[in-house]
Amino acid sequence: MTEMFSRAGEKAWEPTPDGNRRRVLVHTNELMMVEFAFEKGGVGVLHSHPHVQASYVAEGRFEVTVDGRSEILETGGSFIVPSNLVHGVKALEAGRLVDSFAPCRADFLARGLSFERLKGKPAP
């Protein structure tokens, strides 16, 4: 199903395998926008996937690592992750990232999929 519009607060948060929260905002088969929330010290574990990712720091400060290179980004900063590069984040303070993925992350839409099964495995 295509989700073309999203209003503030209407999408439910769900836990992520690494202990943070996410909510899918809008998506088509070709593109998806997802908001992630982190507590201070929260980690988005190092991982890779075939999707191209562009991320915007909506709130907070993050140590972002892409392909072995780390930078500190604050509110208003952004980064891009080309397909299959290893990347991850650490929240230096509580914050939120808004990520876009191309194509859509079908694994984020799967209902009833065990987070334990996803933990540590690359996305399809």
Residue range 38-88, pLDDT digits in tens = 999 999 999 999 999 999 999 999 999 999 999 999 999 999 999 999 999
Q: How far apart are CA 95 and CA 122, in angstroms?
A: 24
Q: Are 123 and 107 in contact (CB under 8 A)?
A: yes
Peptide bond preceding 103: is omega within 30 degrees of 0, i.e. cis? Answer: yes
Q: How far apart are CA 76 and CA 81, in angstroms?
A: 17
Residue range 98-109, pLDDT digits in tens = 999 999 999 998
pTM of the model as a whole: 0.85
Report DSSP state, residue 12. P
Quickly tell me which residue has 């230096």 as its tokens: 92
Straight-line distance from the first to the last Cα atom of the chain, in angstroms, rounded to the nearest whole number? 19
